[in-house]
Structure 1
Amino acid sequence: MVSRIDRKLVADAALRLLNEVGLEGLTLRRIAKELNVQAPALYWHFKNKQELLDEMATEMLRRMTAPLSEPEPGGRRPDETWQDALSDACRTLRRGLLGYRDGGKVFSGTRMTDESYAMPLDALLRLLTKAGFSAYQAARAWWTAYNFTVGVVIEEQSVYPEPGDPAERRPESRDPAYDLASRSQRLGEEYPLAVSAGDEMFGDLERSFEEGLRIIVAGVAATTGR
């Protein structure tokens, strides 16, 4: 019997349940049942589901960025280039969000509930400005790469709803709605470019992400003269 709960305890329980029921199935009532308390007890900490989602997203970010405050090899390398730093930040974000069912949807559009985001953000922006970016260019570079990554994750989790490491995905976990062979058969010879586009967008998602990330980094370099 849980006699006392706090915001972190509720967020931890919500993230566990998220992997079981997804975003649509996640309710304050269900979380209260998981914690063995009455639902009104949660309203002392969260007025509504959106406030809970904000806290969940904040806890997700804390977990993703924890290695940055650790000694090598978890922290930043002294010889790290801005291209490496920006790319690695996006990879960390993607892997972290893919670890939760509907992680991309939970994370997008939410607000951080504390300042834990400031340290990793400041460290990345500091590295970019040290490489010659203006403060504006550094912020714009990260904001563009960040939105690309979150958008990719949301689409990726439609294809593979099960949470986990993308390197360990099982073929049977792919949503049948994204079967490329049946899609190709439906479109036939009338729309060959749409067929090939589908293969590119929903085929090898790891390669698709990495190539898109290279385009983003190259675009940042081209527009900033770096």
Structure 2
Amino acid sequence: MSTERRAPLDRAKVADTALRLLNETGLDGLTLRGIARELEVKAPALYWHFKDKQALLDEMATQMQRRMAADAALDPADTWQERLTKVNRGLRAALLGYRDGAKVYSGSRFTGTDHAPALEAHLRLLTQAGFALAQAVDAARTANAYTIGFVTEEQGVRPLPGERREGFDVEDRARRLADFPLAAAAGELLFDDYDRQFDEGLAVVIAGIGARYRVG
């Protein structure tokens, strides 16, 4: 009989394992039973830590946020436009690191307060730039929602970088829509060069925020 002692099971270890499996199974295929098998424990052991799959998703989203914050290098001298741009580019990059990353992150509740210092700093920067607090929250939420929505659509076409879902071949689409030249030409703009698409859309959102609240 092996005398090797297994490391204690905790929420972080379960969430880390779930995030690793997510790239293999996708969100629909991710199960507590599969995670338990990977951890070499019985499925009921996970219920000591998570009452259901949503509780696990909350912890996974929290781990994603922690990793994203650890990689962030934000400058206190940023303008509010620069800060919203950097934060949302960073969020997109983080979500793209996981199959169905945007779906996991969307609607989840952070399980700790690790996100609070960055949130406080972002809101302070926005209010010091001239936004009322309510406007700063609306601005940040709007940009965040744009990013999550964009990545959800992006991952519907490219589940992971380098992958492409069947049915989204731009040239084939153009042939099928040959009688509709504008719609056919739009395919290249809709389903290719997602970096350009994202940056252009984010610039529109940020410009709209400035115009709406008259903050330069």
How high is the TM-score relative to the length of structure 2?
0.93
- Residue 138 of structure 2 corresponds to 140
1:87 aligns to 2:85 (yes or no): yes
The offset of 1:195, in angstroms, is: 2.1
3-state SS of paired residue (2:204) = helix
How far is the alpha carbon of 1:3 from its aligned partner?
5.5
Q: Are 1:20 and 2:24 an aligned pair? A: yes
- Compute the displacement of 1:193 (Å): 2.9
1:62 maps to which residue? 66
> Which residues of 2 match residues 1-226 of structure 1 at below 5 A?
2=6, 4-68=8-72, 74=73, 76-162=74-160, 169-170=161-162, 173-189=163-179, 191-226=180-215
Contact 1:83 1:217 in 2 (8 A): yes
TM-score by length of 1: 0.89
Partner Cα separation in structure 1 for residue 6 and residue 18 of structure 2: 15
- Corresponding residue for 1:165? none
DSSP-derived class of the 1:47 partner: coil
Percentage identity across paired residues of the two chains: 53
Cα shift readout 1:28-84 (whole Å, capped 9, x = no counterpart):
01100111101100000111111100110011011101245xxxxx2x323211110
> In 2, distance between residues paired with 1:131 and 1:224?
11
Task: Give CA-to-partner distance per residue, 1:118-164, whole Å, 9 cap, x none.
Answer: 111111111011111110111011110000000111111122112xx
Tell me, yes or no, if the aligned pair for 1:2 and 1:36 is still in contact at 8 Å. no
Quick one: distance in 2 between partners of 1:48 and 1:101? 21
Structure 1: unaligned runs, 5 residues or longer = 69-73, 163-168
> Where does structure 2 lack aligned partners over 5 or more consecutive residues?
none
**Residue aligned with 2:200, SS:** helix
Counterpart-to-counterpart distance in 2, 1:102 and 1:65:
20
C-alpha distance in structure 1 between counterparts of 2:134 and 2:103, whole Å: 27
Contact preservation (8 Å) 1:62, 1:117: yes
For 1:3 and 1:223, locate their aligned partners in 2 and report how far apart those are by CA, in whole Å.
53
Q: Secondary structure at the match of 1:37?
A: coil
Structure 1 residues 164-186: Cα deviation after superposition (integer angstroms, max 9, x where no partner) = xxxxx44xx22231111111111
CA contact (8 A) 1:2 1:37 kept: no
The letter for the 2-side match of 1:118 is A
Alignment RMSD: 1.4
Moved over 4 A (4+): none
Check conservation: 1:2, 1:35, Cα contact below 8 A.
Answer: no
